[in-house]
Amino acid sequence: MSRILHSTEGRLALITIVVFVLMAALSPERFLSPQNLTSMAFQFPEFAILALAVAVAMLTGGIDLSVVGAANLSAVVAALFMANVVGADGGAGMVALAFVMALCVGLVAGLFNGVLVATLGLPPILATLGSGLIFTGFAIAMTGGSAVMGLPSAAAWIGNGTILWIPVPLVVFALLAAALGWLMSRTSFGLKTRMFGANPLAARYAAMDTGAVLIKLYALCGMLSAVAGFIVMSRANSAKADYGSSYLLLAVLIAVLGGVNPYGGYGRIIGVVLAVLSMQFLSSGLNLLGVTNFAREMIWGALLIAVMLINTLAKRRTS
Amino acid sequence: MKSFDWARNEVLVFGVIVAFCVLAAVSDPNFLSIPTLIDLMRNGIVLGILAVAAMVVLVSGGIDVSFTAVAAFAMYTTTVILRDVAPDLPWPVAFAVATAIGAALGAINGVLIAVFGLPTLIVTLGTLSVFRGFLLTFVGTVQISNLPSGMRDFSRLMMIRGTNSDGSFYSLPWAFAFLVALVILTWFILNRTMLGRSIYAIGGAPESARRIGIDVTKTQMFIYIYVGALAGLAGIIHASTARIANPFDLVGLELSVIAAVVLGGARLTGGVGTLTGTLLGVALIVLVRNSLIVIGIPSTWQSVTIGALILLGTGLPAWQAKRAEARAA
């Protein structure tokens, strides 16, 4: 038991269970209802995928503040293609093509960040703050600031469909999380990422091509953002430059809550997944209890600070 | 004698501002006029005060994104207190209350950062949502257009008034004097006191600062309280001059403010930053936000322009530093 409590992920698993049990106890017939459980499974993947992207950037000691901008830009490009070129009666093939386009936009956005950080040497916060404004700005300029509508009905499947009663967004998130978990803990790329995060100078002296690792990593963040953007678009049945603007804070919060060290070098995907689950349980439960969005924002912020405090104090005691 | 460095951010930003004004004057001869200037000055008051606050934090090596929430909190709460308790108090009391509330909220950031040593970005992201959430949950969400009389009196205090050729009025409120006074005060603290030199020292190298006997905890506490106080003041000035207290205002502006400061040459890594640069950065952001259309760029391109300016303004020095490092190696 004490071993579980000593690891960040162990404490987090406990918090997740406590939140779930607490919410289930406070409003059992509603929180545990099939409708609530399904709606939760549809809700969280979009910001959870953004959190994965932020977490990956944080592993290197950087951060990606452009995830929401990249997500919206990808979604806007895909939506403009589907609405203007394909039309409302487009089939699944065209939607798949739009998805590939979104991924490409995300890839380019991520490469842009990677070049700014790795080649030009900008601090990641500023590079992605600036590029995030540029991505959002392009999405505004392309759409004139209004929502892009008139998507083919086939596009709704990614956000609203099910595979064997499991919501598609959840499947997408699970696959991405599993793949990232494997990439970060079982491959040399993951090891290099964490090495760079722990000590960039040492990584360079160990003959690591740090620039290439960083560029690949930010490209990965961009593509993850694109997937999240596509899911948001599919669920909203439209794309807009300012969708999900509150998701940035939430994504950073989840990554930190998940035990990813904002200074780099430590973090596990399982922690991020647990943090996502506890946030969603808390958020849905509070919603059912009639707590307003504003109070929820306050609780999230307080939770972020509390977790940081506990982690810091726990570290101080052990050292 | 130091040689003049053309690649300094201040020089670059000044050049961009001049180029912008020349282009604007070519496409619209009316652009270069006293009313335009006064309009820009008026629009820069709140942004300017917030930028001075944000700069102090950046110089110390931290980053604060919660100051807009502090400003909104102090502004709205003060208005509510005055309205419900003592609607007839003069404006200096309202300003003092808002500044005190801002300082108190800043102290919360200060304790978390200075005493517990948490990362500044994460702490202030957290307190941003706590302050905002608390304000909107417990204080109120309804905008107040019937301001207490003191705040209304302040909104009528004008330094300069004038009439345009088309008969419309332009004016510069006395609130601008607050910006000037705060810039002078901050300049004095940063450049003429031990405290200010400690702030630069902490930003440059915290460990060295500690070893030469600087009390890092106390200095950081001062920084975050000072920033909170300035934010509170900016908030009440915003509500007074806009003649409305809207709890949803200001939040969302934080990244633009930080952008202005960074454009002016302050480094995120700390230790570097000047008030001249910050004010030039504010002037550029205000120009882009208000007058982009004059030089023929549609206002939908505003975000792209600001984003590109940030990347340019931070990219050039970063790239130069990298090249210098490569040459040295």
The complex scores an ipTM of 0.85
Within a domain: B176: yes
Residues of B in contact with A297 (CB under 8 A): 129, 132-133, 136
Number of domains in chain B: 1
Report pLDDT for A32.
Answer: 85
Q: Taking Cα atoms as reference points, which of A227, A242, A239 lies closest to residue A107?
A: A227
List pLDDT tens digits, range B246-291: 999 888 788 889 888 988 888 877 888 889 999 999 999 888 888 8
List pLDDT tens digits, range B219-250: 999 999 999 999 999 999 999 998 899 999 88
**Phi, psi (5° rounding) for residue B127?**
-70, -30
Within a domain: B1: no
Within a domain: B4: no
A-interface mutation test, from B284, B310, B323, most A Cβ less than 10 A away: B310
Distances (CA, A) of A29 to A35, B81, B179: 11, 42, 57
- Chain A contact for B317 (CB, 8 A cutoff): no
- Chain B contact for A5 (CB, 8 A cutoff): no
Q: B304 and A127: CB-CB below 8 Å?
A: no
The pair of structure tokens assigned to A243 is: 């969708």
The pair of structure tokens assigned to B282 is: 């504010």
| AA letter at B74 | A
Report pLDDT for B7.
Answer: 60
User: A106 to chain B nearest CA, in Å?
Assistant: 17
Within a domain: B325: no
Q: B305 and A136: CB-CB below 8 Å?
A: no
Report pLDDT for A257.
Answer: 84
Report pLDDT for A207.
Answer: 79
- Chain A contact for B327 (CB, 8 A cutoff): no
Report pLDDT for B2.
Answer: 47
Of A122, A131, A308, the CB nearest to B122: A308
Q: Is the pLDDT of residue B4 over 60?
A: no
Report pLDDT for A319.
Answer: 65
Of B63, B112, B298, the CB nearest to A305: B112
Taken in order of first residue, the domains within chain A and their CATH numbers are 8-19+41-318 (1.10.3470)
Per cent of chain B over pLDDT 70 is 97
The pair of structure tokens assigned to B314 is: 């931070």
Within a domain: B3: no
* R_g over Cα of chain B: 20
Report pLDDT for B58.
Answer: 93
Report pLDDT for B329.
Answer: 65
Residues of A in contact with B125 (CB under 8 A): 249, 252-253, 301, 304
A-interface mutation test, from B272, B303, B327, most A Cβ less than 10 A away: B303
Report pLDDT for A9.
Answer: 80
List pLDDT tens digits, range B300-315: 888 888 888 888 877 8
pLDDT tens per residue, chain A (319 residues)?
Answer: 566 666 778 888 888 898 899 888 888 888 888 888 888 888 889 889 999 999 999 988 888 989 999 999 999 999 999 888 877 777 788 889 999 999 999 999 999 999 999 888 888 888 898 899 899 999 998 988 788 888 888 888 888 888 888 888 899 999 999 999 999 888 888 888 888 888 888 888 887 788 888 999 999 999 999 999 999 999 888 888 888 777 887 888 888 888 888 777 788 889 999 999 988 888 888 888 888 888 888 888 898 898 888 878 877 777 6
The pair of structure tokens assigned to B78 is: 């003060």
Within a domain: B103: yes
B-interface mutation test, from A66, A119, A134, most B Cβ less than 10 A away: A134
Q: Is the dihedral of CA B256, B258, B259, B261 positive or negative?
A: positive
Q: A294 and B258: CB-CB below 8 Å?
A: no
For residue B183, give its domain range: 9-319
Distances (CA, A) of B30 to A264, A303, B24, B42, B288: 52, 53, 9, 18, 17
- Give the C-alpha separation, B304 to B131, whole Å: 30
Q: B298 and A141: CB-CB below 8 Å?
A: yes
Within a domain: B260: yes
List the single residue in B with minimal CA-CA distance to A121: B318
The domain spanning residue B274 has which CATH number?
1.10.3470
Residues of B in contact with A294 (CB under 8 A): 132-133, 135-137, 141
Report pLDDT for A42.
Answer: 87
3 state DSSP class of B149: helix
Report pLDDT for A220.
Answer: 94
